[in-house]
Amino acid sequence: MATRTAQPEESGEEGDISQRCRRFMCSPVTDVRVLQQNPGEMRTRMEMLIMETQAEFCRALEEVDGGTFQVDKWQRKEAGGGGISCVMQDGKVFEKAGVNVSVVSGYLTEEAAKQMRSRGKSLRGRDGKLPFCAMGVSSVIHPKNPHVPTVHFNYRYFEIEEEDGSKQWWFGGGTDLTPVYINPEDASLFHGTLKEACDRHHPRYYPDFKKWCDRYFYIRHRGETRGIGGIFFDDLDSPSQEEVFSFVKSCARTVVPCYLPIVRKHLNDPFTQEEKDWQQVRRGRYVEFNLVYDRGVKFGLATPGSRIESILMSLPLTARWEYMHEPAEGTPEAEMLAVLRNPEEWV
């Protein structure tokens, strides 16, 4: 049971809430006054973290691209909450970059609540209904240059109130990389940065969440992973809310150092039309994973009133499906495919 609530004084978040909000891409989903009234609540602290992560990542991408994110603040129809979608399309470096925050609340049926927990715990609600709150930041970045990998991350928090007033909460998330060509140095930097963040919290986190990531981002019908993984976890509710939040904060803060050095290193790499075509074929596989297997996308598409454009902003601007495409032996394309068929250890 995970009901110990976090103490504001342990939080380590600096500065006044309204001051911190000034650095965001726009005002938060929840009214600033509500956030100010409850600075110690996990809902507030997590919303501040996801807004900060969005802003920090968008600014870093804007700096390297020279372009500007389009910012759309939206509200859920006939339900509580909304989100902020930041998209940069057809930039100099990025073909499509999306960074989305959503904060949603309402009531779940007992069945729906059960399905939201990957371990399927049953929960008891008042008259079968459970007040819930879900929030997260998620992002997919598709660069133009085939030597710059695609990155995806998502960090999220759920809270459900049971009949007796007790709160169930958990965190989930992860960051993973999808290169078009394998570069062991990049792979080691990426995984190494994630491992460092994980190791500060628990020695099992990196090895366990690395495996979970390879298992989750698996395109079963192709027999290959979507990319070279990273970390993925869900349903994390121990040892304490404070400690899990602290871990999630560490993860969120690695997004820029994980990815931006790789972007800068390769953004001017020369490439051929063949390399661009292979990138497009890999983009097709990305679409296959996202539309066929991704739980978030499936849940979103099936939920009435969800904002389709924000769910599908993870799809690349362009993709390609070639019949019977199989790279010739000994080529860099075949080397990439071999890694996707047999995930490797990078640190």
Binding residues (CB under 8 A) for a second copy: these are 70, 72, 87, 89, 96, 98, 220-222, 280, 284, 287-288, 291-292, 301, 308-309, 312-313, 315-324
- Report, in Å, the least distance between residue 298 CB and a second copy: 8
Question: Catalytic pick from 142, 147, 152, 266?
Answer: 152
Residues 6+ positions from 299 with CB-CB distance below 8 Å:
none
Kindly give the interhelix angle for 241-266 and 184-199, rounded to the nearest 10 degrees: 160
- Report, in Å, the least distance between residue 265 CB and a second copy: 27
Compute the chain's Rg from CA coordinates: 20
Q: Which is nearer to a second copy, 96 or 147 (CB)?
A: 96
Contact 154, 294 (CB under 8 A): no
- Report, in Å, the least distance between residue 326 CB and a second copy: 10
Q: Which is nearer to a second copy, 81 or 284 (CB)?
A: 284
Q: Is 311 left (phi over 0), alpha (psi -120 to 50) or beta?
A: alpha
Q: Which is nearer to a second copy, 271 or 293 (CB)?
A: 293
- Report, in Å, the least distance between residue 321 CB and a second copy: 4
The string of DSSP codes covering 176-245 is EEE-SS--HHHHHHHHHHHHHHHHTT-TTHHHHHHHHHHHHTEEGGGTEESSSEEEEEEEE--S-HHHHH
Q: Which is nearer to a second copy, 246 or 318 (CB)?
A: 318
What residue type is assigned to position 271 of the chain? F
Q: Is 152 a catalytic residue?
A: yes
Q: Which is nearer to a second copy, 201 or 285 (CB)?
A: 285
- Report, in Å, the least distance between residue 119 CB and a second copy: 24
Rounded CA separation 71/114 (Å): 34
Compute CA 157 distance to the chain's CA centroid, rounded to the nearest angstrom: 12
Q: Which residues are catalytic?
A: 152
